[in-house]
Structure 1
Amino acid sequence: MKLVSKYRFFSSSFSSSSSLIPLCNNTPKPIINPLYNLLPQTQNPNQIVDIICSTLNHRDHPFLLPNLGHEVKSLIPHLGYREISRVLLRFQSDASRALAFFTWVKSDLGKKPNVSNYCLLLHILAWSKKFPLAMRFLCELIELKSKNEEEDVFSVLVSATDECNWDPVVFDLVVKGYLKLGLVEDGFRVFRKVIDSGFSVSVVTCNHLLNGLLKLELMESCWQVYNVMCRVGIYPNTYTFNILTNVFCKDSNFGEVNEFLEKMEEEGFEPDLVTYNTLVSSYCRRGRLKEAFYLYKIMYRRRVVPDLVTYTSLIKGLCKDGRVREAHQTFHRMIDRGSKPDCIAYNTLIYAYCKEGMMQQAKKLLHEMLGNSVVPDRFTCKIIVEGFVREGRLLAAVNLVVELRRLKVNIPFEVCEFLIESLCREGKPFAAKHLLERIIEEEGHEAKPETYNNLIESLSRCDAIEDALVLKGKLKKKNQVLDVKTYGALIGCFCRIGRNREAESLMTEMLDFEVKPDSFICEVLVNGYCKEMEFAKAENLLSFFAMEFRIIDTESYNSLVKAICERGSGYSKVLELQERMQRLGFVPNSLTCKYLIQVLEQ
């Protein structure tokens, strides 16, 4: 597909033959009643415009109108849209008084001017070069107009040019107004109307429009805007082509890049650093590294010196392609040619090394980073700690965190929590506990309840029950409730070390906090009582779990059967137990039968 196919005119549906909509004003003309002239001037509705204008003309400070409302109090009901327009037209050469009157109508009287009133004010402000004020009222009008689709702002503005002085820049402002409010597609429609009606817009406004359309990924509309710029003589600038470069990268075949660059040169613009960086970055994102490096060489030939952005894009592209060593060589080339790497450049290479499991190289780069006074950020710390953990080098990860903290590097607390959870998972709770205490003591951070739960579980699995209970007490002081998994770990620990009463107390505490036990807790409690030969309590627990929580744990039941059989209590007692358990829903399985057969063989 040829690049020229992208540069085409608006379709015939947008042609300049579109007619203008006449000035919308549905307010009927007032009926002039000659009897009104018999009234005093201040009470004559026919004189309301003259009275207001006379009062405004005699005000030294037109923005201060405290008495105007009092002077025309009886006439205010006769102040309609047409009268407002007439007053504005009288002051079209005096923007301050026109604005004072408009503000008085809106604020003091609480009347809502219509689109025609707003458009007259916009023309007056634009004619007086008060562009910021014009933009403010234009945005206000656009927002009001969105609630009334019957009237078109652009058409009313055009019609108003027959009545007052006007500056064509107002039509440029209209397009900008829609863009400023984020109404990009509406702005594009107004842009087409402005051009089709023979008016023009500035290249700056065109650039804003192109940028907005690009963000919405309306590529076809971008090329239409550029095409119209060329047709009506709106000369693009460097910013225009840099925006179009982004459009080109998202929308085009990369084989057309040379044609695009030639097009820029034909228009009198040399591709600059931004242009090349946009193209190089796009090539790298799409895995077209050969073309990216070709452009990199072209930059030198055209005396455009690659910068940090160029090199970071190339490094990222090589890393994404798994060519980490080449990426590192490019990194060194960047330094040799005078570009100082920033945190993003270092992170790109460190992440690639961590992904490949090359942790020593990653750590070396981190030290190099610190030596060059580049401060590691949250991402740096996260990827390198996660990399060590993924490689099973927990101790190295802990030592790295300690080292970085000693060097005053801010380690994000979530990274420390991840490391603590990893240590717990690997059965190293004391190292995790020490790290947590050190962080809390030195930095005042507070760990999440999940971190405490993980630590309590890990300590319990290592039978460090006293340490686990201390942490449990800390959570209790903070009104935090343990989860069922943590309760299970504590109960299991108590049962393993023969402290069944305390295990049962913990289960009672669970129920008080409305934490529902699971089958694991049932199993460890039953095993604990079986170990102590307290078969009646074990059976009561099985019954309790079955009736209260519908937990029919066959493994716990088999543990009880096995313990009774091993004690030699007799076949009859085992059968009686089986009959009681069957009433609760326990069904014997092959293992149950095996234990029963062993009893018969004794």
Structure 2
Amino acid sequence: MLWFESEMPELKGDLPHERFLTYPTAHSKSNQSKTASGYLQTRGFCGFKTEAANGVGLQMNLLLFNTRHSRVRASTISAIARFDERYRPFGTKEAIHRCSPELWFVKVVCTLLVRSHFCLDSCLGYLSQNLTPLTSFEVITRLDNPRLAVRFLEFSRVNLSLIHSFKTYNLLLRSLCESGLHDVAKVVFDYMRSDGHLPNSSMIEFLVLSFTKVGKFDFVKELLSQLPSEKIAMDTFTSNSLLNWLVKQNKVNEAIFLFKEHFRLYSRPDTWTFNIMIRGLCRIGKVNKAFEIFCNMESFGCSPDVVTYNTLINGFCRVNEVDRGHWLLKEVKLRDEISPNAVTYTSVILGYCKLGKMEEASCIRDEMINSGIQPTAVTFNILIDGFGKVKMGLKLWDEMNAKNISPNVYTFAILINALCKDNRLDEARRFLSQLKCRDIVPKPFMYNPVIDGLCKAGNIDEANAVVAEMEEKRCKPDKVTFTILIIGHCMKGRMLEAISIFNKTVTIGCGPDNITVNSLISCLLKAGMPNEAFRIMQLASEDLNLAFPSLKKPMPLASTDIPVAP
């Protein structure tokens, strides 16, 4: 037994029959031995050639370390031979059947990269002879660490003058961007260009979307500026997706820039492209710019659809230019290829309601019905809210039921709020009771007007009962609900209950605002409870991050506008 075999444990790696040990002897028949599994081993200067009995050869060259040839440490060889399981490029059976030296080489390089204490500089000769663009791609494919992959890419470019394939760069750029390493990706992109590779459409589209989403718009402009010189075009779907994402992120100016400088010149805009741009401009109030784009659609061979008209009409109505919106409604009615829908009419109705022109709004509603278009729940909600009167609201409610139009949560909320303003709390509560037989998920803003009305009327117990009903329907009180209850109990002189409600808000993380806490403190002081007032102030300062005067100053004993019951 050789000196190093006694200190090296049996290798139980991918090929348990192989011992990859170098020894300074030349190839000869005397240097061949047969392993226990029936393989022939040929000992050579750079490694063993292990041959199966059927004549198939497996070549595993170990690296040429700068060590004494007769004293290669078995621990070093063992570490290389037993590859890290996380980076196994293929399984044992696959290795045996495929018998590919290249695959073994890939695995060795991956292991050396993962185990950073191995220095690649010591094996430049070996790597320069065996590393190719194909094998380097396989190495990067099997490394799930993008930074490590970049380190390998840079090492091979600088020390081995290796020109990597476009496929390698494409893989690495996508991996870096998906890992959020966009600054590193920019460097790798420059490497790719210096190696003589041009980005294709797919790469440009991916990089533009990825860099835009992280806000690196300067690099996006740089990429897109290369489109004309390299004769690369982005497809319409990708361009629209990018524009749509920018508009949703309120980056309308960036979207307009891309459209004017690149997409309208180097891609084919369609109707969706123009709809996105019109929507973005209307959202920021630039309806005149949106109208200019609308007028230029036909010069690009595009025709507006009903979505285009609806978006522009809604934009005009939002800035109170309802007459222009109404004019567009008339225009779309005259077109043969498209017809207005419920959204078209409802947008104009909303515009007139905002201006208080209810007669015009009613006329548009009648025109809508005469055109054979059924008003929706949204249409009725706008009209009920626009009239603002209980009598007209209930009439529209009855009309909805007659037309079998199901009210939604906002229909209930608008009517309940109107009834509470008119001090018709019993009717408002009856509307709340209807929710039991409706497929509507109740919201706090539906209950808050009723609770507020009952508290102001001094009916605290009834207000608490409504809160209990609310919680039974799995509708959690919000900050407004708790504020109403705290003020209501203070007005009634029920300070202990007000304190209990306040403590609950702090516990569930729904603490009231500064005004409510100040009102509670003032009421506590008026009720002769300075210690509780001090505790509330201290708790609000620490847990709710509310600002109060110095706690060391004497507590003021006067003043609040909230009357406290004797």
- Is the 1:483–1:515 Cα contact (8 Å) retained in structure 2? no
Match of 1:123 in 2: 166
Match of 2:181 in 1: 144
Q: 1:314 aligns with which of 337, 343, 348?
A: 348
Show CA shifts across 1:81-136 (max 9, x none). 99999988532xxxxx765421434549956447768998782179xxxx9x6774
| Aligned pairs, number | 441
> What secondary structure, in the 3-state scheme, does the structure 2 residue paired with 1:322 have?
coil
1:208-227 alignment runs, 5 A limit: 208-214=241-247, 215-219=249-253, 222=256, 225-227=259-261
Q: 2:269 aligns with which of 222, 236, 259?
A: 236
Alpha-carbon distance in 2 for matches of 1:425, 1:85: 87
**Inter-CA distance 199–491: structure 2 relative to 1 (3 Å threshold):** closer
- Is the 1:145–1:153 Cα contact (8 Å) retained in structure 2? no
Match of 1:21 in 2: none
Q: 1:294 Cα shift?
A: 1.9
| Structure 1 residues without counterparts, runs of 5 or longer | 1-36, 92-96, 461-467, 493-505, 518-547, 555-602
- Identity of counterpart residues, as a percentage? 20
Alpha-carbon distance in 2 for matches of 1:60, 1:86: 25
Moved more, 69-78 or 298-307: 69-78
Match of 1:90 in 2: 133
Q: 1:511 aligns with which of 531, 539, 542?
A: 531
Alpha-carbon distance in 1 for matches of 2:430, 2:440: 14
Q: 2:235 aligns with which of 184, 187, 202?
A: 202
**Inter-CA distance 413–419: structure 2 relative to 1 (3 Å threshold):** same
**Inter-CA distance 99–383: structure 2 relative to 1 (3 Å threshold):** farther
Q: 1:301 aligns with which of 334, 339, 343?
A: 334
TM-score, with normalisation over the residues of structure 2?
Answer: 0.60
**Inter-CA distance 456–552: structure 2 relative to 1 (3 Å threshold):** closer
Where is the helix percentage greater, Structure 1 or Structure 2? 1
1:101 aligns with 2:101: no
- Is the 1:242–1:275 Cα contact (8 Å) retained in structure 2? yes
Q: 2:62 aligns with which of 17, 29, 42?
A: 42
Alpha-carbon distance in 2 for matches of 1:386, 1:423: 13
Q: 1:305 Cα shift?
A: 1.0
1:160 aligns with 2:226: no
Alpha-carbon distance in 1 for matches of 2:193, 2:268: 25
Match of 2:394 in 1: 363
1:172-571 alignment runs, 5 A limit: 172-181=205-214, 183-214=216-247, 215-219=249-253, 222=256, 225-232=259-266, 234-246=267-279, 249=282, 254=288, 257=291, 260-261=293-294, 263-303=296-336, 304-354=338-388, 358-370=389-401, 374-405=405-436, 409-429=440-460, 431-439=462-470, 450-457=483-490, 459-460=492-493, 507=528, 511=531, 514=534
> Please, what is the CA RMSD of the aligned residues?
5.3
Show CA shifts across 1:263-297 (max 9, x none). 32233222112222222122212222222122212
Show CA shifts across 1:14-70 (max 9, x none). xxxxxxxxxxxxxxxxxxxxxxx9755422379xxxx99xx9896868999899249
**Inter-CA distance 168–186: structure 2 relative to 1 (3 Å threshold):** closer
Show CA shifts across 1:479-510 (max 9, x none). 99998967997999xxxxxxxxxxxxx857x6
Show CA shifts across 1:351-376 (max 9, x none). 2122xxx1222233334445555554
Alpha-carbon distance in 2 for matches of 1:380, 1:300: 29
1:14-93 alignment runs, 5 A limit: 40=47, 41-44=61-64, 68-69=107-108, 76-78=118-120, 90-91=133-134
**Inter-CA distance 121–479: structure 2 relative to 1 (3 Å threshold):** same
Show CA shifts across 1:377-406 (max 9, x none). 444333333333334444443343344556
- Is the 2:377–2:405 Cα contact (8 Å) retained in structure 1? yes
Amino acid aligned to 2:414? I
Alpha-carbon distance in 2 for matches of 1:405, 1:108: 56
**Inter-CA distance 134–349: structure 2 relative to 1 (3 Å threshold):** farther
Moved more, 238-247 or 104-113: 104-113
**Inter-CA distance 188–364: structure 2 relative to 1 (3 Å threshold):** farther
Alpha-carbon distance in 2 for matches of 1:550, 1:169: 69
- Is the 2:274–2:297 Cα contact (8 Å) retained in structure 1? yes
Show CA shifts across 1:300-323 (max 9, x none). 222211123212211111111211
TM-score, with normalisation over the residues of structure 1?
Answer: 0.57
Alpha-carbon distance in 1 for matches of 2:264, 2:288: 23
> What secondary structure, in the 3-state scheme, does the structure 1 residue paired with 2:301 have?
coil
- Is the 1:238–1:269 Cα contact (8 Å) retained in structure 2? yes
| Structure 2 residues without counterparts, runs of 5 or longer | 1-43, 48-60, 67-80, 84-88, 508-515, 538-552, 560-566
- Is the 2:109–2:139 Cα contact (8 Å) retained in structure 1? no
Alpha-carbon distance in 1 for matches of 2:288, 2:311: 13
Match of 2:563 in 1: none
Alpha-carbon distance in 1 for matches of 2:431, 2:331: 42
Alpha-carbon distance in 2 for matches of 1:71, 1:138: 18
Amino acid aligned to 2:447? C
Alpha-carbon distance in 1 for matches of 2:122, 2:344: 62
